[in-house]
Amino acid sequence: MICIEKVTKSFPSKVVFSNVSITIKDKSIFGLVGINGAGKSTFLRCLTNVYNFDEGKVLIDNYDSSEAEVKNNIFFLNDDPFFLRTDTPLTLANFYKAFYPNFDEHYYRNMLTSLKIEEKGKVVNFSKGMRRQMFLAIAFSTNCKYVFLDEAFDGLDPLTRIIIKKKILEKVEENNLTVIITSHSLKDLEEIADSFAILDKTHLIDYGNINDKLEDFYKFQIAFDHDFNLSSFSDLHPHSYKQEGKVAQLIIQGKYEEIYQKLKEKNPILLESSNITFEEFFIIEIERNNYDIDSQELL
């Protein structure tokens, strides 16, 4: 289990995040999300001791995260990992073998074969997707209990994303891994992550179980045969409202039956409901935090 207690990190020009506390359970896939520059990557770097927190502490399995014994169980894969021009998958494995005594070379070679990656090919000649898969193979071969993946899906084609998600889920299932993933691809995160945290404007604005949070919100499509606008739904306090002609889409938080009943009482000619996506939830949370999306779009 990872216990992050009141951590703060600043750079000379700005505070990256302040007073953040999160608990991440074992055997979970944790999605860390936020807008660009929210401090997700810095947060992962601090967790892995690449950077030091200014304040607060991180306990991993009840030990300080800076202890080498704890770090034996942590693997951090940044968004664009370094390799030499002369490196091959095998030479890179030799490097990581020096530090991770439980590195499973047999598993690594099998994974390279299954991913159709040449063992002796030059990494520099690989596509971004192949490199990402190869580094993921390294991450899983180290047999670390905690794997931190920065921008895990970004810039990858849909097929590669499916392969990577499948591999992550397999490994979590087989080896009881705990994976922290930062990504802007919220759809992918929604598919595999069970818990999440949103960082914005130096603060943790929400965190918890994804399904629990999403079950709290409902998306309704509603149509009337007369004119209407947002004020027609003021009693329901919608988080999101979009209207095109006589059809509107609302996202409302609360108990489903109560909301449905109130909408039904307005005599719509169409009323349909569905669950919201993680992406919609993210936008709601960011807007709640006074982030003016409209003005950003104008920019």
Partner 1 sequence: MISIHKNYYKYLFRKLIPITVIASIIFIIANFIHIISVDLSEITTSTYIPYIPYDRRDSAIATITIVSCIYALFFPIYIFSYCFSKKKVDIYYSLPINKGSLALTSFLGGLTSIAISFTISYLLGFFVILAKDHTGVNLALYLPYYFIALILLLLTYMIGSSFALLGNNKTDVAIELILINLLPLLISYTLHNYVSDISRKFDNHISLDVLTPFVGIYSIIQSFGEFISYSYKPTFPLIEFQDCMFENAGNIYSYYTPYLASLILFIILALVLIPAFYYSTKKAKSENAALIQTSYYGVRTFYSILFYTMLTFVTNAVSNKDMMVFLYIAIIYISFIVLDMFRRRKISWTKRLTFEMIASLLYTIFLITFNFTYVTV
Judged by the rule CB under 8 A, the positions of this chain that interact with partner 1 are 11, 45, 48-52, 66, 68-69, 71-72, 74-76, 78, 80-82, 94-95, 97-101
Q: Answer for the pair 88, 121: CB distance below 8 angstroms, yes or no.
A: yes
Cβ proximity to partner 1: between 99 and 261 the closer is 99
Cβ proximity to partner 1: between 63 and 242 the closer is 63
Residues 6+ apart with CB under 8 A from 235: 262
| Cβ at position 50, least distance to partner 1 in Å | 4
| Cβ at position 78, least distance to partner 1 in Å | 4
Cβ proximity to partner 1: between 139 and 156 the closer is 139
**Separation of alpha carbons 24 and 166, rounded Å:** 21
**Separation of alpha carbons 238 and 68, rounded Å:** 49
User: 């202890």: which residue's tokens?
Assistant: 67
| Cβ at position 67, least distance to partner 1 in Å | 9
| Cβ at position 57, least distance to partner 1 in Å | 17
**Separation of alpha carbons 270 and 221, rounded Å:** 7
User: 């993933």: which residue's tokens?
Assistant: 181
| Cβ at position 15, least distance to partner 1 in Å | 14
Residues 6+ apart with CB under 8 A from 253: 216, 217, 218, 237, 239
Cβ proximity to partner 1: between 72 and 240 the closer is 72
Pairing of β 55-60 and β 29-34: unpaired
**Separation of alpha carbons 112 and 218, rounded Å:** 43
What is the DSSP secondary structure assignment for residue 277, as one 8-state letter? P
| Cβ at position 3, least distance to partner 1 in Å | 19
Cβ proximity to partner 1: between 7 and 198 the closer is 7
Residues 6+ apart with CB under 8 A from 122: 85, 86, 87, 88
Cβ proximity to partner 1: between 11 and 272 the closer is 11
